[in-house]
Structure 1
Amino acid sequence: MAEVLTDERIAGVLRPFVRATGPLLVALREGDPLRLRGRFDDADVPESEVGALRGALRKLDAMQLPGSTAWDAMSVEQRCDWWAQRVGRVLALIAGLPRFGGVITSRLPIRNALGITGQGLVLCAIAGELGVTDPVVRVRLLAAVLLERDLSPEVAAGPDPEADDERAAELTEDLDAAEREHGRATPKAVARTVWRMARALWEIDSELDKRPQGRFYHELIGSVPVIGVVGGYLGERSALRRIARQGVRWLRTQR
């Protein structure tokens, strides 16, 4: 019989997770990963960045990526869509990989853990674009949209914020190490952080099946060995689009 988890237990797992999304999303959104900010001020462009290279950099700056001029010009709604679509594609692919073995591997806990990690990251990113930075509200957002739990603000806040901060620091220690060593978040540090966050969510494994998932036909494709990856990917993408809409609605009703 599956363990019945209390609201307090759910909130206790989500609080460090939500705090850990902060540094990761900041690295992606505000960290200017392509070093584009101020790159095209004519007074500051070095001689080495002329001709074809400068043209290539201008094309990058025109892309809708954090740190680019195009990103700065995007509306809040467009940025929310970006997180759900662009980032969602990568997260959906990672979450869909366990479908490679069909029915057998699709039931592994790692699939739901990775899937809900990606969904939680996208929801927290959307909350940030809407100006919602309070971790209590974000915990309630994830619980409502992903786990069908209506947590009270008191339960979502928890009894010991310092302990939650310490646990979150453990989840993001690879990002901190990369920042100290390289001055930025590396792909390896990001991947290890996502993995740590997914493992943290295993603690509530019995609840993870509640998360939004693909349509029935995605599940059918996902049950077939090898090509199940395609079904898993499409299913996760479909679910991410739904949770993005639900997340925006939930946040706006709270206001």
Structure 2
Amino acid sequence: MGRVPRMSHADAHRAVRAARAAADGWARRSAGQRARVLHRVADALRGRRTRLVRQVVDADGVPHDLAERLVDTAAERWTRYAEQIAGGACAGRPPVGVVAIVAPPFGPLLGLVSVLAPVVAGGNTAVVAVSERAPLPALALAEALAEAQLPDGVAALLTGPTAELAPLLAAHPGIDAVDLTGAGEAAPGLADRSAATAKRILRSEGRVDWFADPGTARLTAFLRPAAD
């Protein structure tokens, strides 16, 4: 089906350094500039629709029509966040900085996009441990990000064992916040590791409906207060 790199601890450290180096430049871009990049990501995903639908069917065993809906919603999610930030959803609130994300193992495209897009839209950079069981959609997304000219270091998608990558990212001193939505039963332990370095932590309770309107909760979760 494809070849997937097994990222090492050294790769993860390099990704965090790159995210840290890119953070200031991405944060300084205007909301309109970031929105234009997000629109390009949406277009790039739509250009890969046929391949992504096949990958989602293979990954999750869902019917073809449901896979089409999952892929279309993933593309639309980038557009939705672009519209939100262009409309002032982040006005006066600077980003947190570098965010580590443990992506959900199921929903390897829509779930991944739903946790990554709001982080990037808000002006943060991200390092993501993607679905270990179904990594191919993440590689297609990485291609789309590159085609959309997302600056180097703004989003790193790490493929490999989640049990190795997630603890490193959670405790990494170069990470400012963590999203443990996809961590499952490992979330409490990862939260403890994150708290030891005073990070902002986002955890989701129960099952997440990725089709639901995301609103602005995830977008604002990784923004500082206006007076901070």
Q: Same fold (TM over 0.5)?
A: no
More strand by share: 2
Higher relative contact order (CA 8 A, sep 6+): 1
Q: Structure 2-normalised TM-score? A: 0.30
The structure with the larger Rg is: 1
More helix by share: 1
